[in-house]
Chains A and B, each alone.
Chain A
């Protein structure tokens, strides 16, 4: 079988940016199939395949598509979340660089299925080159009739546009992204109403991650039955992992859901650089809790849990730390990120994230006091569950994860009044 049909990134070194190359290897076959079989068939297949959203939360995609399809309000919109701001995550960039037509095919399938006439790709501002690439890819698809007026002879119209973000992590949060697309500050909305019924311009909106859209043509190509047998039964399918940090071969790896963390690090990425020992791994982007070397057997999917941790797969960004890394410094750098990116809408997150940053900074500088660990936990407790969106929760989960797994390093900083790793901050 052609790799293009069942893989998200068929060839890590080749960029398929010409439409005839994509067509020649089976591209748009899924869209043709859907145009014949109808929208209900597409939704059924996605539900049977068991696809879950790749943006981090793992929401069942079939249910989302069905909810937008069932809403009778018009017009409807689709939005691709290509804001990819979670530090350590670069898989969506790889999809857009190597196989951008797959995303467009997924979006065309979505528009056809939920009956949306307009779609936007919300692209992160830090990816300027991809803006032009995507505009070109969209123009090629329109010329060939895969999108545009009466696309694929469906009688429906579809226009796709690229919308550039301007450097705010919070705009990756679905409702903040919609506010931002509407020309407002990217601050999250309260829910309900949910995006599927009340999204862009208050209309039914399907918002999904790049990788989620890219999975749909694969489901139709190989059939829900075969798809559901890839990887973990509860959250099947191929998954992209962005691996960075102290491994021999960092990069994006396309592996079945449920692959053990140890296999990613030691088999695919060649283990730890310089023959050093592994100290810690952040399994799913900085919003997930850090793990120790004895947690590596855990499986990377939406349902498995590791000792003392919430979800582990997150955005699929695996960041690996060797024995020489200071965990207090790392916790501080992540806390600084969350404090910088807090949108300021709610008090627990706006105030709390900055307190976490400040306390971790003084610990790293050797100025921490005995009570600081308790204080940190208290601040985290005040944020978790009380912030308006998950950004505040993430800051708390990250910090508590470091305290739980590497408490001894925090105590060493306080007792020794210095960073034992000679850490510069």
Chain B
């Protein structure tokens, strides 16, 4: 089930497209924003709203790293380890996150605060290493600053 507000937001995006199927990515974003992740019943609700088969909607959701099928932590941390960030020793920051927050790539911290993903390039290659926390970009990270930044996310 989706909250009424999510349903009306999804209906509003329909006017941008010549058919309802094209509104699938925005609809999944809206559903995830309201529910926190995309459980099967949310996917079913989106499928019904857009008049699409459930299997199609599940296939598209699972294709993308931005859509999550399990709740995870309250904040999603994507630390870039691709080449430009690699050169700035971003892998060392993975060790810092493990020591300080008990965070491992692909897992959620014991206090349920963070889920960590080892990310691909986020296009911030001139201020490395870089990470995304939810929608916020943080760059030029050091072992000290990454701890200080994450401390701000409850």
* A residues apposed to B, CB below 8 Å: 75, 84-90, 93, 118, 124-129, 159, 161, 163-169, 180-186, 201, 242-246, 250-252, 282, 286, 317, 319, 321, 325, 329-330, 333-334, 337, 340-341, 343, 424
Chain A positions within 8 Å of B81 at CB level: 333
Question: Which residues on B are within 8 Å of A, measured CB to CB?
Answer: 16, 18-19, 21-26, 28-29, 50, 52, 56, 59-60, 63-67, 81-84, 86-87, 91, 120-128, 132, 135, 137
- Bound complex: CA A124 to CA B123 (Å): 10
With contact pairs A126-B122, A244-B128 given, residues A164 and B26 touching in the complex (Cβ less than 8 Å) = yes
**A242 CA / B83 CA spacing, docked (Å):** 14
Bound-state Cα–Cα, A330 to B85, Å: 11
Residues of A within 8 A of B128 (CB): 244, 250
CA distance A129 to B134 in the complex (A): 11
Contact between chains at A337 and B120 (CB < 8 Å): yes
- Is the CB–CB distance between B83 and A333 below 8 Å? yes
Q: Measured between alpha carbons, how far is A334 from B26 in the docked complex, in Å?
A: 30
Q: A245-B84, A245-B87, A282-B83 are in contact. Are A186 and B63 (CB under 8 A)?
A: yes
- Known contacts A166-B66, A183-B23, A325-B87, A90 near B59 by CB under 8 Å: no
Contact (A250, B120) CB under 8 Å given A88-B84, A164-B26, A164-B29:
no
Residue in B closest to A273 when the chains form the complex, CB atoms = B87
Question: Bound complex: CA of A86 vs CA of B52, how far in Å?
Answer: 32
**Given A168-B63, A168-B65 in contact, is the A330-B82 Cβ separation under 8 Å?**
no
Contacts of A321 in B (CB 8 A): 87
- B19 contacts which of A201, A282, A343 (Cβ < 8 Å)? A201
CB-nearest residue of chain A to B95:
A424
Contact between B65 and A166, CB atoms less than 8 A apart: yes
Closest Cβ neighbor of A84 among chain B residues = B123
A252 contacts which chain B residues (CB < 8 A)?
Answer: 126
Q: List 30 A-B contacts (CB under 8 A).
A: A87-B83, A88-B125, A90-B123, A93-B123, A126-B132, A129-B137, A164-B25, A166-B67, A167-B64, A167-B65, A167-B66, A168-B65, A169-B120, A180-B25, A182-B19, A182-B21, A183-B23, A183-B24, A183-B25, A183-B50, A183-B60, A186-B63, A201-B18, A201-B19, A244-B125, A246-B87, A319-B83, A329-B86, A330-B83, A337-B82
Measured CB to CB, the closest approach of chain B to A79, in angstroms, equals 12
Give the docked Cα–Cα distance between A376 and B17 (Å). Answer: 45
Tell me the complex Cα distance, A129–B132, Å: 12
Best-surrounded residue of A85, A164, A244 (most CB of chain B within 10 A): A244
A166 pairs with B18, CB closer than 8 A: no
**A321→B86 CA distance, assembly (Å):** 11
Candidates A182, A246, A329; contact of B22 at CB < 8 Å: A182
B125 touches A185 (CB 8 A): no
Contacts of B135 in A (CB 8 A): 128-129
